[in-house]
């Protein structure tokens, strides 16, 4: 008997898998990459978590499908920010269910806990998630299964319901106790790092979609640098540090020109290809302001397709109005 687990990398999904593995069932951890996870790769962390409990790991890249099917038109709406959690969970289960045959697995599990999260982990929301998944009788939540109606794997005796748990609410104490009992190292809180739950990132995303349509190559540019919207609508992104500069350099988005001051050291920038003359000049002066430059001196900014000269602003405070 095998099961597929929806695996976020967080503690709750690790514990849920462990409860099932302890019943002699092989578990394959499926991590869905929506594109909006943490800004740094968590692959190594996820591998380490799976190794500790004896689960296999598969990462599913569903960035295109997530943009097409979930992010902009969620049936059950958004949480506090741009997070469509109910639809997102249903989506993850639906695509994970497509792998049941490939792995010859009989059912799915997740680390959800009743009442732990305001949007997706209320009892009624869990039922909505099950409906969206199109496999509602095959989803087991081992950490709170005793508080929910028995599912097919429990009724059929594939797993022993008595060995599942009845955790509810926001307290983490039972999970932390369980982690201690099994000697789990370096674990993270549940669903750590989903950028869609963050206010600032959600503002960037809202702004972005006001001006253009999004594809998966745009996701990484939203995660790095300072983002500015200029008066005629052009977007300017300025790297804040070496890490940002690298990420911006590596973008595969075709919406931007690469920009940098030629005669001074400064950040790597991306600038809208469709900018007006007036936004181009403003961007030039802003990029010069963020470089190691002096006042009252002319500098040249190279925008790949053209070069412009400009001067540093007296103060960065003058630029605050453009920040998203
Ligand atoms: S927190 Fe993010 S990844 Fe988790 S369910 Fe919500 S939208 Fe999806």
Is the pLDDT at 258 greater than 90? The verdict is yes
Atom of ligand 1 nearest to the CA of 119: 6
> Domains in the chain and their CATH numbers?
2-194 (3.40.50.620), 198-322 (no CATH)
pTM (two decimals): 0.89
* Closest atom of ligand 1 to CA, residue 191: 4
Which residue's CA lies nearest to atom 1 of ligand 1? Answer: 194
Q: Is 304 left (phi over 0), alpha (psi -120 to 50) or beta?
A: left
**Could you tell me the two tokens for 89?**
């969970």
Average pLDDT over residues 233-246: 96
The CB of 88 under 6 Å from ligand 1? The reply is yes
Structure tokens at 271: 């600038």
Atom of ligand 1 minimally distant from the CA of 34: 3
**Residue 49 in 3-state DSSP?**
helix
Checking if the pLDDT of 243 tops 60, the result is: yes
Answer whether 83 contacts ligand 1 (Cβ < 6 A): yes
**Ligand 1 neighbour 194 (Cβ under 6 A):** yes
β strands within the chain, DSSP E: 2-6, 26-33, 56-61, 107-109, 139-140, 226-229, 235-238, 256-261, 269-272, 299-302, 307-310
Predicted local distance difference test score (pLDDT) of residue 190: 55
Q: Mean pLDDT throughout 189-201?
A: 80
The rounded Å distance from CA 297 to ligand 1 centre is: 48
Separation between Cα atoms, residue 315 and residue 301, nearest integer Å:
19
Question: Tokens for 67?
Answer: 């943009």
124-178 pLDDT per residue, tens: 888 888 888 888 899 999 999 999 999 999 999 999 999 999 999 989 999 999 9
205 CB within 6 A, ligand 1: no
In contact, 269 and 235? CB cutoff 8 Å: no
Contact, 268 vs 249, CB < 8 A? yes
> In percent, how much of the chain has pLDDT > 70?
98
């Amino acid at each position: 008997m095998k099961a597929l687990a929806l695996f976020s990398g967080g503690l709750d999904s690790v514990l849920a898998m462990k409860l099932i593995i302890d019943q002699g069932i092989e578990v394959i951890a499926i991590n869905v990459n929506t594109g909006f996870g943490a800004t740094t790769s968590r692959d190594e962390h996820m591998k380490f978590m799976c190794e500790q409990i004896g689960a296999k790991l598969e990462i599913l890249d569903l960035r295109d499908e997530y943009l097409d099917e979930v992010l902009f038109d969620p049936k059950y709406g958004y949480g506090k920010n741009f997070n469509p959690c109910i639809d997102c969970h249903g989506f993850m289960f639906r695509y994970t269910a497509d792998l049941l045959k490939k792995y010859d697995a009989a059912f799915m599990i997740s680390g959800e806990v009743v009442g732990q999260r305001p949007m997706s982990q209320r009892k009624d929301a869990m039922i909505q998630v099950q409906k969206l998944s199109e496999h509602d009788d095959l989803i087991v939540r081992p950490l709170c299964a005793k508080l929910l109606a028995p599912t097919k794997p429990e009724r059929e005796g594939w797993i022993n319901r008595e060995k599942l748990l009845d955790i509810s609410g926001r307290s983490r104490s039972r999970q932390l106790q369980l982690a201690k009992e099994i000697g789990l190292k370096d674990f993270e809180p549940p669903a750590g790092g989903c950028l869609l739950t963050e206010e600032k990132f959600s503002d960037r995303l809202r702004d972005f979609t006001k001006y253009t349509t999004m594809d998966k190559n745009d996701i990484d540019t939203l995660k790095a640098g300072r983002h500015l919207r200029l008066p005629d609508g052009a977007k300017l992104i300025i790297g804040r540090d070496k890490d940002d500069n690298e990420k911006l350099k590596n973008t595969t988005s075709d919406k931007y020109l690469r920009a940098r001051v030629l005669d001074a050291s400064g950040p790597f920038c991306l600038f809208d290809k469709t900018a007006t003359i007036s936004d181009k000049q403003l961007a030039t002066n802003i990029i010069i302001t963020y470089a190691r430059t002096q006042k009252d001196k002319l500098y040249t900014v190279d925008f790949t397709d053209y070069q412009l000269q400009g001067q540093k602003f007296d103060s960065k405070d003058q630029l605050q109005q453009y920040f998203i």
